[in-house]
Structure 1
């Protein structure tokens, strides 16, 4: 018994020592700068443009809610995190923040009261923002956003993830040094790197996570950066591998996709719909060109957009569907009944209208949640400046059972040149009625 008590006492002491040590961990914080008043003036349009590229609205504006008043649910492996009010309301927003306090949120993930933010806020990317962009964003939110006195939902994760002091340990292990350093002789590539790695925080979704759920890399110098991730069970595709969009599409196709959410090969759905709707459609021609150039560069050069000729498997699927044989299996029969009118027997859809299913990254993703959700709930393209028509795919969840959705998804994932795994009825049951799926808030 005494031995047991000594062990317990020792563990308690070790625990207290660990907590004390955590309080003194040398976090790589951004050094303070000068304090600016809330009336810091921003050149006309620059604040809103920088906010658009930083994609603040996608997370901090709830569907049907006031701009930047928070209240959007963000799914994480540890539970639902609710976005906060970032309007200049002095009580529940950020109206009382100084520039230094605002910078600490963006760079270090620390609120004015010293509370550590959950890294659903991409401060591991924003910590490389330029001082100019931080000041521009500060001026925009303080002077150009209407204050909203709405506190919204409070994040309440289960133990131990509700212990925010533990985030200090995560920050110590996960965060790199602040600040962005240009590394190319080409200013276009440097601008593209800054937009992708920092302001646009693309790696937050498109880079795999390591054992502590930090981004495995935050710059293109690391070969794992932008090699694919997952968000809310959906796949965020690889952006630099040999079969990725930047390495198979032409520069013009990639630019059209970013600007409008569609091209002659594919169309956005899921979280990327929000990125296009709130952010990328507002990017300048020069910034779009810089992003495209950088993405193609880090993957090895980029593709020419030539669509591969159908192989024997693709032709076999097309012939099967064209035959309309009543004896065919359930999957292809469901495809003919529900999908063929838009995506056709060859799975190649219609340019700029209905995306290709043959070779589609969502269809072939290792995570099946995306393709299941689209079948169950439909999808709507964002209305953009260059392509205002918000085309919609209908939902089929009301007419197809779990078994039928599984059969249809399994067929599409193995049809033509696709070689993805099967979907089960249990997979569908887990996704049916998923209230956390992203929607276009302006649809």
Structure 2
């Protein structure tokens, strides 16, 4: 037999056997990369649980939801066809025809291309380990737990799936928009929601609310990602954004709160081309505030503290509890302890995140390219509500920062969060004495 014909038959047989074994390995690898970009594992993995097996509690204004099992087990999505998978991810429709809660960001995923959907399906069906774990029902009380109103919500607020149109835009910006608005679903956290819980904008074309920051959820604020200098990304360079997404830190900032999971599970795995595209797209977004101005350093507080003058309210508390790491000039230490001077989180209109981290502390996680871990202790055990309010107010008004003071009642509200340690009895007693006598508390 002709050698060429034999070789061709051999290749054909190899292709048939390969197809029988399942999707192409490269398609599965591409799906894994896309699943990283979508940060699927963060929501669909309970603390201490198996990857993608669900069970993670998610607080919503109407109750607690639990993420679902999306492994290829029969208790997960093992019986899903591609069509079932596509409808769930991009349209918010379950295999049984019911509407999914919009905690699943299908309004963003509607932008995901057909090719990427095929790769994601290949990965979840052939690259993820099956886990037998039944889904946990929500804690949402009746009648809010009824599913049929979700179909109305979906019809009103979820966009239709459309083919990705060819763009005349700069290809880097176009890729960044695709990742931010679609798979990355950044707006799910960083865009404010209406009373009916839909995002007020799904893209820059929908208005300036897009990525302009969120209301408090689980004790954190998802900050503005627009071009504002005071409380957005106006003071960040493209290179700083890329470094932050890749390592969780930059020269002047460090990741904390829910964004830590995004960096650990998702962003650090993206290639430099995609990280640059995301950064460039975010830097293209204009400021929300037309009167926004660049940060200007004011050295008065730093000079006063250097000279030993800590008479300003909250100054002595800052020196005793914060100054060693963040310095008396508020500049911190590069890539370890973030600067507080000019920090957009510090100057945010809502001080929830700053109060939260003072009370509960936080850990700067290790990443592949920045393996060191640094931990900030919480001060809930050490400082009472008024002291926390004083030191936070001092930080928000020093070194050129221009943000309003906070109240002790705002601090007390955040102490109610389940993971914030309660105020010890000794501080409660001291607080009572201080409140009734007007005498300042001992440190």
TM range (shorter): 0.7 to 0.9
Q: Name the residue aligned to 2:172.
A: 188
Aligned residues: 391
Structural mapping, 1:186-265, within 5 Å: 186-224=170-208, 225-230=210-215, 231-243=217-229, 245-265=232-252
Cα distance, 1:364–1:391 mapped onto 2, change above 3 Å? same
Cα distance, 1:143–1:421 mapped onto 2, change above 3 Å? same
Indicate if the aligned counterparts of 1:318 and 1:416 stay in contact, CA closer than 8 A.
yes
Indicate if the aligned counterparts of 1:234 and 1:368 stay in contact, CA closer than 8 A.
no
Please tell me whether Structure 1 or Structure 2 has the larger radius of gyration of its CA atoms: 2
Indicate if the aligned counterparts of 2:357 and 2:378 stay in contact, CA closer than 8 A.
yes
Cα distance, 1:259–1:209 mapped onto 2, change above 3 Å? same
Distance 1:361 1:217 in 2: 22
Structure 2: tracts of 5 or more residues without a match: 1-18, 288-293, 421-443
Cα distance, 1:327–1:410 mapped onto 2, change above 3 Å? closer
* Residue 365 (structure 2) aligned to one of 382, 390, 395: 382
* Residue 137 (structure 1) aligned to one of 91, 114, 120: 120
Residues 1:393 and 2:379 aligned together: no
Indicate if the aligned counterparts of 1:343 and 1:354 stay in contact, CA closer than 8 A.
yes
Deviates more, 1:165-174 or 1:239-248: 239-248
Q: Name the residue aligned to 2:433.
A: none
TM-superposed CA distance for 1:61, in Å, is 1.2
- TM-score, scaled to structure 1: 0.83
Q: Name the residue aligned to 1:281.
A: 268
Distance 2:121 2:25 in 1: 9
Cα distance, 1:71–1:321 mapped onto 2, change above 3 Å? farther
Q: Name the residue aligned to 1:121.
A: 104
Q: CA RMSD in A?
A: 2.2
Q: Name the residue aligned to 1:15.
A: none
Distance 1:365 1:83 in 2: 30
Cα distance, 1:72–1:323 mapped onto 2, change above 3 Å? farther
Structural mapping, 1:278-317, within 5 Å: 278-299=265-286, 310=297, 314-317=298-301
Distance 2:363 2:168 in 1: 38
Distance 2:105 2:259 in 1: 16
Q: Name the residue aligned to 1:64.
A: 48
- TM-score, scaled to structure 2: 0.83
TM-superposed CA distance for 1:342, in Å, is 0.6
Indicate if the aligned counterparts of 1:267 and 1:355 stay in contact, CA closer than 8 A.
yes
Q: Name the residue aligned to 2:12.
A: none
* Residue 53 (structure 1) aligned to one of 37, 42, 46: 37
Indicate if the aligned counterparts of 2:240 and 2:250 stay in contact, CA closer than 8 A.
yes
Cα distance, 1:348–1:193 mapped onto 2, change above 3 Å? same
* Residue 141 (structure 2) aligned to one of 158, 166, 172: 158
Cα distance, 1:209–1:117 mapped onto 2, change above 3 Å? same
Which structure has more relative contact order (CA 8 Å, sep 6+)? It is 1
Residues 1:420 and 2:407 aligned together: no
TM-superposed CA distance for 1:245, in Å, is 4.9
Structure 1: tracts of 5 or more residues without a match: 1-35, 301-306, 438-443
